[in-house]
Structure 1
Amino acid sequence: MGENLQFAQDSAQAAGFYLLDDQDASGLGRLQVMDRNWTVCSREPGPGTYPVDMKVTLHAVKAGVSC
């Protein structure tokens, strides 16, 4: 949390997770076209140990917007 979306995606992939989704945490339904301009607020599933074939959803807001 708190990282830019691109870094979070890269980190997830480096850990072996490739089934990734991202959502606009502001509720406006915007697409994250420029991943570096978005900040991750939360993720599903939460902290823990999971199989790498599990879907990971990153909820992010536009940079400069509070979570």
Structure 2
Amino acid sequence: MRKALLAGLLLLAACSSPPPQQPQPPPPAEAVIGQTVVPGTKAPSGNLVPNVVGMDHQDAQNALQAAGFYVLGEEDATGRNRKLIIDHNWVVVEQIPKAGTVLDPKQRITLRSKKKDD
């Protein structure tokens, strides 16, 4: 009886095969630092630049710092070369590089802003 049970188990084990493996989809292409990230791709060794256009200048700086960017530049987008002294009085109208770019966190991001009453 014991031999029959063992033989049955061995026969059952020999007949069962592992499930066929599903083909794996190809991995998404890697994004390159300095290029815009395509949805579904991975950023290799950089951070994704968030969109801060339209934000209060101070809030934009806070958002960029939260994303890991601390080298920030600023300039008067009207061309009048005014200094941005009270950041909450300004609104971001352009960011360089654009949102969605993968960037090394040590790289500079420039915010071009104008006064809210301009």
- Fold match, TM over 0.5? yes
Give the structure with higher Rg (CA): 2
Inter-partner Cα distance in structure 2 for 1:23 and 1:52: 20
**Cross-structure match for 1:17:** 69
- 1:33 and 2:56 equivalent? no
Identity percentage of aligned residues: 35
Mark the runs of 5 or more structure 2 residues left unpaired by the alignment: 1-52
**Cross-structure match for 2:55:** 3
**Cross-structure match for 1:54:** 107
Per the normalisation by structure 1, the TM-score is 0.92
Q: Which has the higher strand share?
A: 1
The higher-RCO structure (CA 8 Å, 6+ apart) is 1
Per the normalisation by structure 2, the TM-score is 0.54
Partner SS state of residue 27, structure 1? coil
Q: Size of the alignment, in residue pairs?
A: 65
Deviating beyond 3 angstroms after TM superposition, the runs of 4 or more aligned structure 1 residues are: none
Inter-partner Cα distance in structure 2 for 1:64 and 1:50: 32
Mark the runs of 5 or more structure 1 residues left unpaired by the alignment: none
